[in-house]
Structure 1
Amino acid sequence: MANVNCRIVFAFMFSVFSLGKCNEQVPLIMWSSEGLPSQSPPAAGHAVSSGELESYLSSALSSAPHNLLLFLQDKLSVDDFTMYGGVFGNKQDSAFTNLEGALQASSSPLFLPAVDSATASALPALLQEQLDTSPLYLEPETLAQLRLNASVAALLVIRLPYSSSSDMMSAKEVLSGNDEVIGQVLNIMTAQAVPYTAVYSALRPSRVIEDVSFAVHSVGRSLLQSSRGPYPPVEFKERDSTCILMWAENLSVSQFRSGKWERHDLASQTFGESSSVKLEGSFCNETHSRLELSYENVLGYRSFKLIFAMSQRHYKVSARRWFTMDQVELIYDGKKASFNASRHIYAPVEYSYRCESVTSFRYAMLTPRSSKDNANDWRVSFDDFQIQGFKVSGKDFSYASDCAGFFTPGIWMGLVTSLLMVLVLTYGLHMIMQLRTMDRFDDPKGPAISVPQTE
Structure 2
Amino acid sequence: MAEVNMLNKSSLSMTLSPLLFACLLISCCYGQVPLVMWASEGNTLPSLDRPTVGKMMSVDQVKSILTSALATAPHTVLLFLQDKLSMEDFTVYGGVLGDKEDGAFPNLQACLKVASSPLVLPSLARGVAAEVPALLQDSLGTSPLYTDLSSLAQQSLASDPALLVIGLPYSSGPQTKKVLHQNDEIIGKVLQIMKTKNVPYTAIYTGLQPSRVIEDTSVIIEPLVSRSLLQSPEPGVKPPVVFNGTQGPCILLWADSLNVSFSRASDSQWITVDLAPLTFTPAVSLTGSSCSDNSSVLVLNYNNVLGFTTFTLTFVMTKRYFPVSARNWTLVEQVRLGYDGGQTATFNGSRGIYSPAEYSFHCQMVSSNRDPLLVPHNSTVAEMWRVQFTDFQIQGFNVTGNFSYASDCAGFFTPGIWMGLLTSLLMVLILTYGLHMIMQLRTMDRFQDPKGPSISVPLSE
TM-score (norm 1): 0.47
TM-score (norm 2): 0.47
